[in-house]
Amino acid sequence: MVNIRSAVSRLSLVALAHTMSTTFGTSSEPPGLCRTTGRLLRLSGVPGYEQHRRNDILLLSPAAETPGRCDNHTEGLQSANAHVVFFPGDIQNFQQEMAVQAEAVPWLSWSLEHVAFIMGNRFPGRHIWVIRASHMYLHKFSCYQNFVESNLFGAPEHSSDYGAIRQLRGLVGHGMEQAGLPNPLPPLGGAAVPLPLPQDFSLSLVGFSKGCVVLNQMVYELAGARADSELRPFLDRISDVYWLDGGHPGGSETWVTDKRALSELATSGVALHAHVTPYEVQDPMRAWVGREHRSFIKTLEELGACVTHRLHFEDEPASIENHFRVIKEF
């Protein structure tokens, strides 16, 4: 059942949703992008698999009839239980919070609300879950501490057993319950024999910039999670994973290069997608990012993974503006 706070948030977002859906009909949107409307709902303090691991979530549920994209890039309408989870990067926050932070104002068009609508157009007919980082240091450095061990600035320290996959499983399940969606995931640890997932449940994951640290942590956990009777069925429902110009303030591990971890990923059967820009992979001051990206792609290809990759804006100067634009262009 939707709690009172969530219900109030939902009402306060109605006008914002109308304004944004109108905005997406302007000439600034990419060619072929059709306006999609749907129900925008803010869920506060949603627990994951542990009560103290909580995240705020923005959920865009599809309209009854979703027109989707107008070109050959259409993903196709999905079942009523198809979902996309998006992990944003630094500075990205709720619209009302970004509007009062001077450093964030120039990037208001990439707020969580705007991104939800962008993803709704990119993946028509699916429920879009935008996960707010559990902490934002100085109102700009996203920290996904609930998913991966991180310092104040959000630089990760990866391990094989932090619980990112279990956190995601719990977060989506509790989010579905709070939003009142039909056929939610069964609770974790609620039965001696794990209850089956809804037959039509499917999931895609998208990480942008700092948000890619969550995807990377899940890669390191794959071996253990696939041996877990509760988590294996959940993993089997993940169809696609998208890395969008991954980056963080640490000096390494922007991309996973560990061959053992990548071997688990390659044999998972998940379709993998890497979209980058010169801002991250051609920065001479952070040359390791490009090297790690090339190693990530090369190793996965050698392992026979289903992986696609693309360098966007390669003929344009590296810029943070194009870094954000990859969210619309991938």
List pLDDT tens digits, range 65-92.
Answer: 544 444 444 444 556 899 999 999 999 9
Structural domains present in the chain: 4-329 (3.40.50.1820)
Residue with tokens 């990037």: 107
Contact, 43 vs 13, CB < 8 A?
no
**What does the pLDDT average to over 220-231?**
96
| pLDDT tens digit sequence for 27-76 | 333 333 344 456 899 999 999 999 999 999 999 999 865 444 444 444 44
What's the pTM? 0.86
CA distance 18 to 239: 31
Contact, 290 vs 281, CB < 8 A?
yes
CA distance 209 to 144: 12
Contact, 58 vs 17, CB < 8 A?
no
Residue with tokens 């993993």: 235
Res 15: pLDDT? 47
| pLDDT tens digit sequence for 301-313 | 999 999 999 999 9
